A and B are shown apart, each in its own frame.
Chain A
Amino acid sequence: MDALEAALDMIWPRRLARYSGWAMIAPAILLVGILVLGLVQIAEGSLHTLDRSTFLPSEEYTLANYQTIIDSTTYWRVLWRSLLGAGLTVFFTLLLALPYSYIMVRTSSATIRKSLLVVLFLPFFIGQVVRAYGILIVLGTSGAVNDVLGLFGVEPLRLLFNFPAVVFGLVQYMLPFSVLLLAPALTAIPRETETAASSLGANWLQSFWHVVIPMAKPGLVGAGLVVGTLSLTDFAMPAMLGGGSQDFIANAIYDQFFRTADQGLGAALALLLVALGSVIAGVVIAIFGAGTLGMGGRK
């Protein structure tokens, strides 16, 4: 033990003890720093337009890329689609995740709890792309859903490559995240509080509405924020389930970087996405307090 302490003393002398905290978060700061460096570079890139004759970025600084985005109806549509898609995803995900995590937390049967957890984690082992592919198969014109509908004499429906399909895919993708974020918030509500509500005359629905949901608000806001920002920036679901017709911002960025090679415009779009996400997160935290993410920002 003494030898161990002596060795430690050589690597990290005792007088440096008050900097220990900084040393611990140094790796994290380094990682964020790299991210910021990249952002600065992207910001710089967004200020050059693409010279179509040489396919090189222009020398002079200009805001032309941002002007292009503002003037373009396509990008406005992509922006609104992303926001609407993210919003709807948040709504439906929370709607489904709340009862799911509630049952998971409150059930007295260990078997039910374990099954719910397994079902929840299973999709984590399957990548997003594979899952989207699975949805393609199930919802395809000759997929399982259309087969079942066929039994009732319904003509095959076009269930894919439209906006609802993208939202469906996103909800399916986000559900485990939001359940995992909601479960601790619901666990923190003492069972006795609900018992009290029922003794005071609330049926289970009233108790859920007046007691459980308000008390789970931090978890709901946190889950909503995570699901919202992840959906807003999602790439795979719109790409695969939207079939090119339902692009989100990330898809537009991808196209600029890797298809048209207009890195300046792509960079401008990317910065816009970062700004949008930051503003939304900032507003949500300003309204509900940092405590909503379990950081105890509020007393």
Chain B
Amino acid sequence: MKQGAPAETSREKSEIKRPVAVRARDLTMDFGDGAPAVDRASFDLETGRFLTILGPSGSGKTTLLRMIAGFQKPTSGEITVNGHAVDATPPHRRSVGMVFQRLALFPHMTAAENVAFPLKMRRYDPRSVPGRVRDFLDLVKLGDYGERRINELSGGQQQRVAIARALVFEPELLLLDEPLAALDRKLREEMQLEFRRIQHELGVTTINVTHDQREALVVSDDIIVMDGGRIQQHARPVELYRMPENTFVAGFLGVSTFVAGTAFPGGLKSGDLHLSGTHAGEIAEGTPVRGAIRAEQIRIVAAPDSLATCDTAFPSRILDVIFEGERLLYVAESDRLPGVAFQVYHHDTEAFDLYEIGAQVTIGWNARDMKIFKSTA
């Protein structure tokens, strides 16, 4: 739709305040078997934005999505879509398109019949249906596949049919329930970009559910991280990655090393070692804390002198070297911090394989890169 302006992504437009499309207030789902599946979840989602609910399995993310879709009635709390309370509206009266985990295409129909189904059910003018179906099959680049049966299509093509079917009636809201989870990595990454492209083209407000942190970072305008039924953090991808609010978020996104200790101004103390770091919020001196440092924020060198600019540096020994293709992952331990295995990403364009197992090195980081959180348990 917005041809010739590819740079204008919704990430940049997000500075403009837009009307709220979805508002959830204290949504709770309690199945009565222990802790609630979703516990007082509240969030706002602006029109046209792509939100990902990210969390491990059992975090309540799918339950939250199903409540928004209307398949599950919340125990308490309320949802409004474009200003209307929808709690009493059955799913088939809502204007919500959904792509399901196992796609749930109709195997007895062709691709075009699948896409026409919502139009038939929603009583669109029959004369407008074929054209509309064609437009949306074109949108997902399946223009020539309309007459194929579902089992004659590849996994990626089936994904596209499911997207077209969910969007053809121009719903107010598009919901994606981990539809990419079953795909192999290459196809998954291709489809992630497709979701993003289509979402931009139509500007439809989208909520995606996934446990794949990479997918969340790649496709989303906003990310909600959930764990144990609670929203842990709701932020933009960059913010979420750079400024996690608690140890769960810090550990779930990216690769981090955690160091337990007690707080002191400008960092934490573990044994007799002072580590520089940044406190997340107000933390009184002496409080038990955990510091989190990302693998790519730790520098690793042979000679201690070259880490003079780092706020914290100490000698360590290489425990393991893991080759990950585009980079190396070193696992290093310091005698002064027994039991903590530092994970360090290393990428050097000059010399790739620098250290062997058992080598003595120095590792270090800057105060702003180690995040220090109050210990939860």
Contacts and interface: CB of A to CB of B under 8 A. Distances in A.
A44 to B, nearest CB: 47
Nearest to A193: B104
Given A201-B92, A201-B169, A196 B100 contact: yes
Interface string A185-199: 000001011011111
Contacts of B94: 199
Interface string A211-228: 100110100000000000
Contacts of B92: 198-203
- Majority-rule SS of A interface residues: helix
A206 interface: yes
Contacts of B165: 200
B66 to A, nearest CB: 9
Given A196-B100, A199-B97, A201-B92, A211 B106 contact: yes
Interface string A38-54: 00000000000000000
Given A199-B69, A201-B169, A203-B92, A192 B97 contact: no
Nearest to A213: B108
Given A192-B104, A215-B107, A199 B96 contact: yes
A210 interface: yes
B122 interface: yes
Contacts of B106: 193, 197, 210-211, 214-215
B102 interface: yes
A206 B106 CA distance: 14
B122 to A, nearest CB: 4
Interface in A161-204: 190, 192-193, 195-203
Contacts of A192: 100-102, 104
Given A190-B102, A196-B100, A202 B107 contact: no
Contact of A201 (B69, B104, B118): B118
Given A199-B69, A199-B96, A200-B169, 20 more contacts: A190-B102, A192-B100, A192-B102, A192-B104, A193-B104, A196-B98, A196-B104, A198-B71, A200-B118, A200-B165, A201-B118, A202-B92, A202-B117, A203-B90, A203-B92, A210-B106, A210-B117, A211-B106, A214-B106, A215-B108
30 contacts: A190-B102, A190-B104, A192-B100, A192-B104, A195-B71, A196-B98, A196-B100, A197-B117, A197-B121, A198-B90, A199-B69, A199-B71, A199-B91, A199-B92, A199-B96, A199-B98, A199-B166, A200-B97, A200-B118, A200-B121, A200-B165, A201-B92, A201-B118, A201-B122, A201-B169, A202-B121, A210-B121, A214-B106, A214-B108, A299-B151
A299 B69 CA distance: 34
B208 to A, nearest CB: 16
A42 B102 CA distance: 55
A201 B98 CA distance: 11
A203 B169 CA distance: 16
Contacts of B104: 190, 192-193, 195-196
Contacts, number: 63
Interface string A131-147: 00000000000000000
A201 B71 contact: no
Nearest to A192: B104
A195 B104 CA distance: 8
A206 B105 CA distance: 16
Contacts of B98: 196, 199
A206 B91 CA distance: 13
Contacts of B91: 195, 198-199
Contact of A200 (B101, B107, B108, B117): B117
Contacts of B96: 199
Contacts of A206: 121
Contacts of B121: 197, 200-202, 206, 210
Nearest to B96: A199
A14 to B, nearest CB: 41
Contacts of B118: 200-201
Nearest to B162: A196
B113 to A, nearest CB: 10
A108 to B, nearest CB: 12
* Closest CB pairs A-B (n = 5): A196-B104, A201-B121, A200-B118, A192-B104, A201-B122
